[in-house]
Amino acid sequence: MEALDTRYNQNEEPDIYDLWEKSGIFTPETSKKRGITDAEAPPFVVVLPPPNVTGTLHIGHAFEDTVQDIFVRYHRMLGEPTLWIPGTDHAAIATQAKVEKILSKEEGKSKYDLGRDEFLKRVNAFAKESHDTITRQIRRLGASLDWSREAYTLDEKRNLAVRTAFKRMYDLGLIYRADRIVNWDPKGQTVISDDEVVYEERPAKLYTFRYSKDFPISISTTRPETKVGDTAVAVHPEDQRYKKFVGKIYEANFCGAQIKVKIVADSSVEKDFGTGALGVTPAHSMIDWEIASRHDLPLVQVIDEYGKMMVEDVRLKGKKTIEAREVIVAWLKNEGLLEKEEDVTQNVSTSERTGAVIEPLPKLQWFIGVNKEFVLEHSSIHGIPSGSKTTLKEIMRKSVSEKQIKILPERFEKVYFHWIDNLRDWCISRQLWFGHRIPVWYRSTDAHGKPNGIPSDSRGVETYVNVEPPKGSDWEQDSDTLDTWFSSGMWTFSTLGWPEKTEDLKRYHPNAFMCPGYEIIFMWVARMILMSGCLLGEIPFRTVLFHGIVRDSQGRKFSKSIGNGIDPLELANTYGADALRMALVIGAAPGNDVTFSEDRVRGYRNFSTKIWNLARFLRMNSRPEFSHGNHKFDEGDRATLQEFEAVKKAVTNHIENFDLHLAAEGLYHYVWHTFADKVVEEAKPRLQGDDSEKAHRAYHLLDHILVDCLKMLHPFMPFVTEAVYRKSHPNDLLTEERWPYIPHVE
RNA sequence: GGACGGUUAGCUCAGCGGUAGAGCACUUCGUUUACACCGAAGGGGCCACAGGUUCAAAUCCUGUACCGUCCACCA
């Protein structure tokens, strides 16, 4: 028998992950065929939240993947056919921005210097490299994914799914194109959705002034430069101060711009704020645009896509908004129109990815209507019968309110419902090059008439929407791409082969479980419910467990810009992946943020060593005669076993309740401070004494408990436990063993 | 302006109705043949504050104060 080193070193063990992968156990069909999981048991299906191909995994991914792997391995050990689907996300805006940055830094070029095709080649090469790194990292952490089903949000199959979805939702009237005020990111040169806007509090000045000397009402604004685009002043209908002006139109020369301002009454105006009168700039404010559409006011765009002024006056033309603001304030002062200047804190909208200040602009974009009624042909969603009229909002709400989807921790339900209540139509088109191209084609009608009988829109453009391009060479495809979350939203079923009617889809959808971070509850989780509900008439998953954010010792998020990133692989190399996993799981109550410290990892590395040495101790005390014959346990042994039974039950219950931190901690304490420190110590005299019979019994007891502990530790610490197990069971895999306690089913 | 979370040992955090817990750090001891990435023993907390419910509260309720997060079109 080979002697074991006193320390466990994952790097020196044979490639255990390779053994698992080759055994086929990560593929449910194989494990079922081999009889490792029950053919009849309902499958436990999970999709990995696909990491963005923007570089490498960070510690947060390691946390997320560990949590999922623990559940997946646990359920597999319960005998359930288990499918955990791996994949990566093209993350359109994030990846494109990243490559643009590299391009500019390393070659001093912009994407326009390369052109669309060449630029996309670069992005794809970058994505490929990231993908390879990421999948290597995921394996190194031990994630038991079915690699035979790996997917990418931008591969062929997913592209077909996306085009099909777009077409169907267009036909249902849910996807439409319209002119709206949208969130324009001047740095990224694209529109973004409301959910990609991040609000930042910044100090600002609130200016109160009149447009001109003879204008009867003063207004307040933090953005005087937009006021050259004002077409109205709105007041509250019951505001006695202004009632007499309603309906009147005033003209003024405002810093060189001729403006025509109508006084309108709108109940959205707060009487008590500022002067109680609101300067309406329909082209550069969401709220103003809405007021304008209610009162049929004209729209004057004064800021362009680069955040520069579009007015003719030389003092302003081509100036950036901030510069224009100074010019206008100086002009107001000069003219004696400025009445007040106050310091305020303002909520500035910025772009999540580029950090740029959002410029609301009027643009023609594609949207998904969340309040639009449509007929849901086939539905298994509680409260929405097949063939009934519904809306996407209702689908999203009912899926959760009818308890078909369980959100954990429960407090996030409230967050989810609140989001739905405030939800507006989802802008899905992006002026990015990297992503799913919108499956819409145009040609102008004046040259070609209407050969397909498709009505042209008011712009004199014929529009063709379909999964495949139209015949004929005079069509031009929409140059925009789709919001990356459009394809992510379909992830639970696009990974299973939709729109084909595959066996996988039948068997594995809805998924059983999902474990994303709470920061993507809207961007991703809600969109999955929307997409799945709309296209399949099904919920995407039954349980979603939100996890918190992993933060550094100062409570900051890990991010490349701060430079506090820790490479999970480096930690895994130093301390072992098992130690890293334990450190991430213990102390992390569901949904709570975790402060990460390397000390903890070190502590659990020591625990790995402890497990290793427990096994080593047993080997050293094994005698040839132990290999045959069973031995009855005596009373003391039975008490020990009874205590152990309680631990098994507690650990199992904790996992069933999604309290992994409690399960892991319970195991840790039992193994170290009860089993090693007490049970083993007390058995030593018997084990090492001359009485072979007694020794055998002691050995038998310790071996029995150790093996069961290894099984229970396995989901948490798969590598050491497998390594140790294989020393005594060279022909078996611990991964294929059954969980040693049957959970109580309610 | 709303909602949610946090406030427990020096540090990081569990516990969430029954006499205060873990890891790390700290002190003392230990040249024991599984393990020093070890063992034994120990110090250290009016569980943010104020009320209330209860036989019993860190744990439930109500307020307050800080810290944090998310949401919101007061210009």
Show the DSSP H helices in A621-659 as ranges. 635-656
Which nucleotide lies nearest residue A575, CA to C1'? B37
pLDDT in tens, A398-413: 999 999 999 999 899 9
pLDDT, average across residues A655-660: 92
Nearest nucleotide to A684 by CA–C1' distance?
B34
- What is the H or E stretch that residue A259 is in? strand A257-265
CA of A413 to C1' of B56 (A): 34
Question: Can you tell me the mean pLDDT for A528-556?
Answer: 92
> Looking at residue A718, what is its pLDDT?
96
CA–CA dist A5, A1 (Å, integer): 13
C-alpha to C-alpha distance for A463 and A662, rounded to whole angstroms: 58
Q: What digits encode the pLDDT tens for the residues A252-267? A: 999 999 999 999 999 8
What's the residue count for chain A?
A: 746
Query: For chain A, what is the mean pLDDT?
Result: 91
Strands A541-545 and A406-408: parallel
> Distance (Å, rounded) from C-alpha A479 to C-alpha A500?
27
- Model ipTM over 0.90: yes
Strand partners, A240: none
Interval A584-634: pLDDT, tens: 998 788 888 888 888 888 889 999 999 999 999 998 888 877 777 667 788
* Residue A456, pLDDT score: 44
Nucleotide nearest to A576 (CA to C1'): B37
Residue A745 has pLDDT above 60, yes or no: no
Interatomic separation, CA of residue A415 and C1' of nucleotide B3, rounded (Å): 8
pLDDT of amino acid A2 = 56
- Protein-to-nucleotide distance from the CA of A742 to the C1' of B40, whole angstroms: 37
Helix (H) / strand (E) element for A388: namely strand A388-390
- The nt closest to A605 (CA vs C1′) is B37
Beta strands A541-545 and A461-465: pairing type?
unpaired
A539-543 average pLDDT score: 97
Distance CA A308, CA A735 (A): 61
Helix axes of A59-77 and A660-669: crossing angle, nearest 10 degrees: 80
Residues A486-504 pLDDT 10s: 999 999 999 999 999 999 9
| Nucleotide closest in space to A661 (CA vs C1') | B14
Q: What are the structure tokens assigned to A342, written together? A: 């106050």
How far, in Å, is the CA of A502 from the C1' of nucleotide B27? 66
Distance A428 CA to B75 C1' (A): 28
Which residue lies nearest B73, CA-to-C1' measured? A287
Residue nearest to nucleotide B25 (CA to C1'): A599
The gap between A565 CA and B5 C1' (Å) is 25
Alpha-carbon A159 to chain mean position = 20
- Assess contact for A234 and A281: CB atoms under 8 A: no
Q: Report the protein residue whose CA lies nearest the C1' of nucleotide B34.
A: A617
pLDDT of residue A272: 84
Looking at residue A659, what DSSP letter applies?
A: -
* Whole-number pLDDT of residue A446: 55
Nucleotide nearest A672, CA–C1', reads B35
**Residue A345 pLDDT grade (very low, low, confident, very high; cuts 50, 70, 90):** confident
Q: Which amino acid is at A641?
A: L
| Alpha-carbon span A193 to A174, nearest angstrom | 16
Per-residue pLDDT tens digits for A61-83: 999 999 999 999 999 999 999 99
- Model pLDDT, residue A298: 93
Structure confidence at residue A460 as a pLDDT band (50, 70, 90): low
Protein-contacted bases of chain B (C-beta within 7 A): 2-6, 11-16, 22-24, 33-40, 70-75
Band (pLDDT 50/70/90 cuts) for residue A644 is very high
pLDDT of A452 > 50? The answer is no
pLDDT band at A192 (very low <50, low <70, confident <90, very high): very high
DSSP secondary structure string for all residues of A413-461: HHHHHHHHHH--PEE-EE--SSSPBPSEEEEEHHHH--TT-PPP-TTSE
In the predicted model, is pLDDT for residue A448 greater than 90? Answer: no
**Gap from A15 CA to B33 C1', Å:** 32
Q: For residue A197, which nucleotide's C1' is closest to its Cα? A: B71
pLDDT band at A556 (very low <50, low <70, confident <90, very high): confident
Residue A496 CA to residue A502 CA, distance in Å, equals: 7
Give the model confidence (pLDDT) of A113-169 as tens digits: 999 999 999 999 999 999 999 999 999 999 999 999 999 999 999 999 999 999 999
Lowest model confidence (mean pLDDT) among A201-210, A286-295, A564-573: A564-573
CA–C1' A649–B47 (A): 29
DSSP state letter for A246: T
Q: Which amino acid is at A456?
A: S
Q: What does the pLDDT read at residue A629?
A: 66
Q: How far apart are CA A193 and CA A180, in angstroms?
A: 12
Helix (H) or strand (E) holding A206: strand A197-209
Distance separating alpha carbons of residues A484 and A488, to the nearest angstrom: 6
C1' of nucleotide B67: residue with nearest CA: A555
Considering only CA atoms, which of A520, A518, A500, A522 is closest in space to residue A509? Answer: A500
CA distance A344 to A367: 34
Are A277 and A234 contacting, i.e. CB atoms less than 8 angstroms apart?
Answer: yes
Cα distances from A18 to residues A24, A26, A144, A145, A461, in angstroms, run 10, 11, 11, 12, 57
Q: What is the pTM of this model?
A: 0.94
Pairwise CA distance, residues A516 & A540, whole Å: 14
Mean pLDDT calculated for residue range A649-667: 92
A309-320, pLDDT tens digit by residue? 999 899 999 999
Q: How far is the CA of A591 from the C1' of B5 (A)?
A: 10
- Mean pLDDT confidence for A204-232: 93
Q: What is residue A635's predicted lDDT score, i.e. its pLDDT?
A: 82
Q: Please, what sign has the CA dihedral across residues A534, A540, A543, A547?
A: negative
Nucleotide nearest to A603 (CA to C1'): B23
DSSP β-bridge partners for residue A176: A367
Residue at A659: amino acid letter = D
User: How many whole angstroms separate alpha carbon A604 and alpha carbon A8?
Assistant: 12
Q: Give percent of chain A with pLDDT exceeding 90.
A: 75
How far is Cα A158 from Cα A151, in angstroms, rounded to an integer? 8
Query: Whose C1' is closest to the CA of A286: which nucleotide?
Result: B73
Residue A219 (CA) to nucleotide B75 (C1'), in angstroms, measures 9
- CA→C1' distance for A660 and B19 (Å): 28
Reply yes or no on whether the pLDDT at A3 is more than 70.
Answer: no
| Arithmetic mean of pLDDT, A220-247 | 93
B31 C1' to A328 CA distance, Å:
84
Specify the DSSP class assigned to residue A216: S
Examine the pLDDT at A348 and tell me if it is beyond 60.
yes
Amino acid in position A88 = T
Query: What pLDDT is attached to residue A177?
Result: 94
Of the candidate ranges A3-12, A218-227, A641-650, the one whose mean pLDDT is the lowest: A3-12
- Judge contact between A464 and A127, C-beta under 8 A: no
